[in-house]
Amino acid sequence: MPDRRGPGRRPPWWPENEPFPPRGPGGWGGGRRRFPRRLGILFALFFGLTFVASAIAVRLLSGGFGGPGGPGGPGGPRGGPPLVPLPVLGVGVLVAVLVAGRVVRRMAAPVGDVMEAADRVAGGDYGARVEARGPAEVRRLARSFNQMAERLEANEAQRRSLLADVAHELRTPLSVIRGNVEGMLDGLYPADEAHLGPVLEETAVMARLLDDLQTLSTAEAGVLRLHRERVGPASLVEDAAAAFRVRADTAGVALDWRAAPGVPELDVDPVRIGEVLANLLSNAVRHTPRGGSVVVAVEPAAAGVSLTVSDTGTGIDAHDLPHVFDRFVKSSASGGAGLGLAIAKSLVEAHGGEITAAPRPGGGTTMRVLLPGPEGSTPSFS
């Protein structure tokens, strides 16, 4: 759950050299009170001056400011229309002010709510929401603000969850390293291969985790460099299957690959797509029991090329299926840090494609990667 702070508490991410709470016009909540008043005065002056100016113009055009017997009066020489008395002008100005106040209350109050909620968000309370009321434009502003606050709240929760997960994943290898090193320094363990080997292995685990996090962050930020080239999808699938042949044979799993005819070439980074297929095959072989099978297939699709990895394994629980591509999500039987599918999703999306997971009929899971074909290419379904 996000930490919902009130405006009186400094959030941990707030810069030390910046005053808190922020010193805006009117301070906390002051904008909500002052904005309607200022807008009301502006509207009242506008309506009032407009009414008075219109009345004066009418008087001038109707013959001036004379009395009943003066020029332009009912008894005047030109017999013009009767003039508007000054008391009537005053009543008109009052009515204009009242109308302006009604308009201001209808429009300014919701805007003031948005301003107050924005102050709360600036103070770290990402749970602030506003009611969509008032004119259509103001309701649209409120809905946009609520969507922004929801994204900020989700990002804050994701950031906290990511920090907690990274700390959890690093804690185990650090404990192993610390225990073995302290034991050797205290003379309890000899500095031999049996005690230095686990230290080296755990440092490799930490290095792999940091590499995965860097790949994931650059891909999600849209700054991952792709070295694209024209490649045949069949060769990508064949190479990936060959790399896992020994592991599948050791696990007693039948591994096969298939390529449909008429598959167009892809304009992709073959190394990155190879990483995606390797991750999918690793999961498929790991979760398929002895005697099962894994099939990697490539076929043309309406929007490009489809790569699928199907297994006859234990499958994915329906409750976990929508979250398999989230970071640090893994089953109890999975190894690693739970970043593989998240990285695969980011790499596929960096190529403009999409990846999905679905239960396989008869048991197991089918992972499908849809990649767009090169511009100007038309898939052949012959």
Highest mean pLDDT among 69-83, 119-133, 211-225, 343-357: 343-357
Q: Give the pair of three-digit tokens for residue 146.
A: 């609520």
- End-to-end Cα separation, the chain, in angstroms: 53
Q: Which of 232, 228, 382 shows the shortest CA–CA distance to 298? A: 232
**pLDDT for res 106:** 65
Conformational region of residue 76, where left means phi above 0, alpha means psi within -120 to 50, and beta covers everything else: beta
| Residue percentage of the chain with pLDDT more than 70 | 68
Give mean pLDDT, residues 172-184.
87
**pLDDT for res 157:** 81
**pLDDT for res 2:** 43
Give mean pLDDT, residues 217-230.
82
Query: Is residue 15 predicted with pLDDT exceeding 60?
Result: no
| Residue percentage of the chain with pLDDT more than 90 | 22
SS (H, E, C) the chain: CCCCCCCCCCCCCCCCCCCCCCCCCCCCCHHHHHHHHHHHHHHHHHHHHHHHHHHHHHHHHCCCCCCCCCCCCCCCCCCCCCCCCHHHHHHHHHHHHHHHHHHHHHHHHHHHHHHHHHHHHHCCCCCCCCCCCCCHHHHHHHHHHHHHHHHHHHHHHHHHHHHHHHHHHHHHHHHHHHHHHHHHHCCCCCCCHHHHHHHHHHHHHHHHHHHHHHHHHHHHCCCCCCCCEEECHHHHHHHHHHHCHHHHHHHCCEEEEEECCCCCCEEECHHHHHHHHHHHHHHHHHCCCCCCEEEEEEEEECCEEEEEEEECCCCCCCCCHHHCCCCCCCCCCCCCCCCHHHHHHHHHHHCCCEEEEEECCCCCEEEEEEEECCCCCCCCCC
The per-residue pLDDT for range 314-342, each reduced to its tens digit, is 888 777 787 888 877 766 555 556 778 88
The answer to whether the CB of 276 falls within 8 A of the CB of 243 is no
**pLDDT for res 172:** 81
Query: Is residue 297 predicted with pLDDT exceeding 90?
Result: yes
pLDDT band of 31, cuts 50, 70, 90: very low
Query: Is residue 21 predicted with pLDDT exceeding 60?
Result: no
Query: Is residue 27 predicted with pLDDT exceeding 50?
Result: no
**pLDDT for res 7:** 45
Give mean pLDDT, residues 58-73.
52
Query: Is residue 80 predicted with pLDDT exceeding 60?
Result: no
Query: Is residue 306 predicted with pLDDT exceeding 90?
Result: yes
Angle at 255 between CA 253 and CA 256, to 5 degrees: 155
Sequence-distant (6+) residues with CB within 8 A of 119 are 7, 21, 22, 24, 28, 29, 31
Angle at 233 between CA 231 and CA 238, to 5 degrees: 110
- Dist CA 280 CA 83 (whole Å): 88
- Dist CA 275 CA 272 (whole Å): 5
